[in-house]
Amino acid sequence: MTAIDVRNLTKCFSPQSPFRRLIRRNRDIVAVDNISFSVDDGEIFALLGPNGAGKTTTLKILTTLLKPTSGHARVAGFDVVSERDAVRKKIGIVFQESSLDLRLTGRENLDFHARMYGLSSVERKRRTEEVLKLVDMEEYADVLVSKYSGGMRRRLEIARGFIHHPEVLFLDEPTLGLDVHTRRRIWTFIKKLNEEENITILLTTHYIEEADFLCSRVAIMQNGKIIAIDEPEKLKNNVKEDIVMIIFGNSEDYIVENTLKMFSELNYVHDIIRENNTIMLKVEHADMHIAEIIEIARISGLEINSVNFRKPSLEDVFIELTGKPILDTQLSCIRHQ
């Protein structure tokens, strides 16, 4: 069954300037631009994109916090505009900005939320223990949240998001600003939650690895539009070239030049970049050609320190589609804001 169904969804915002009447080119901001996608029951689905791509706005519409300008969306079978209350009963949300009560303990935060969703006292107690266990937070349940680290707060928020047995859980940037170790830990909880509680999860992220590791399908967003949507592996398969990196030791310039010239004559090498002691080649089917590449480097006298090749990442997919890395796009968004 379809857990989320989005058809031609658009959201425009009016510029907020106090001088808007005086500004001639007073155009609306199109935060979400005619997007359509659907998420099946039990999927972990990501909206991946740089700052300002429209991820949070989409999520706010799907969780009934914003009304769309046009288009339709159904969550757990209900329309997000005309059946708002029914949608709210079926979902859990973890916002991009933390919304825990710092003056309460972890357990109290969970209990308060469970009361709001009408869980009985017995059910609240049972469920609190269950969700605390799932995110590995039993030890800290009775500590004030103001004393928690960023990672602990995020884990508690995720626990709170699903304490009332939602069918669909929305996670807005679940690991934003956390270190790599904590991020990985949260990924395991999200996977476990999806498998053990059979919850459909839609998350937004601008971390490439997060989308790649966690999600069955990914929609890449930019400027309010979905520019690609598929399973991570299939998206990566669309990028034809693999990346081969050769790191060499001290070699005479003429030897390096000669090696580069020989590489450039190979029809399966599409691009060559040299930076100091590193040569990067974009190679079609590197697995078939890696032996020949190493042999050429060896014959031409290059002192090879290491050779490795990797399949394209979702970052390479983003570059192929937009011409720049996701981080550059983020920086230029920040500069334009």
CB atoms within 10 A of CB 1: 9
Residue 153 interacts, among Mg ion, ligand ATP, none and using kind-specific CB cut-offs from 5 to 8 Å, with none
- Find the binder of Mg ion among 11, 45, 46, 56 (CB under 5 A): 56
Q: Which of residues 274-313 bind ligand ATP (CB under 6 A)?
A: none
In the chain, alpha helices (H)? 55-62, 84-90, 106-116, 121-134, 150-162, 180-196, 208-214, 232-237, 253-264, 286-299, 314-322, 326-336
CB-CB neighbours of 146 under 10 Å: 12
Instruction: Give residue for tokens 């592996």.
Output: 233
Token output for 285: 């089917």
Site string for ligand ATP, 201-240 (x = CB under 6 A): -----x----------------------------------
Q: Which of residues 168-207 bind ligand ATP (CB under 6 A)?
A: 206
CA-CA distance, 284 to 12, in Å (whole number)? 42
Answer for which of 6, 31, 35, 219 binds ligand ATP (CB under 6 A) is 31
For Mg ion, which is the closer residue by CB, 140 or 207?
Answer: 207
Q: Which does 217 bind (CB under 5 to 8 A by kind): Mg ion, ligand ATP, none?
A: none
| Binding string, residues 29-48; x marks residues near Mg ion by CB under 5 A | --------------------
Q: Which does 29 bind (CB under 5 to 8 A by kind): ligand ATP, Mg ion, none?
A: ligand ATP
Give dist(CA 48, CA 289) in Å, integer: 32
Q: Pattern of binders to ligand ATP over 53-72, x per CB under 6 A?
A: xxxxx---------------
How far apart are the C-alpha atoms of 89 and 120, rounded to whole Å? 16
| Distance, CA of 47 to CA of 194 (rounded, Å) | 17
Task: Specify the residue, 204 or 300, whose C-beta has the smaller distance to Mg ion.
Answer: 204
| Residues at the site binding ligand ATP, with contacts judged by CB under 6 A | 13, 16, 29, 31, 49, 51-57, 96, 206
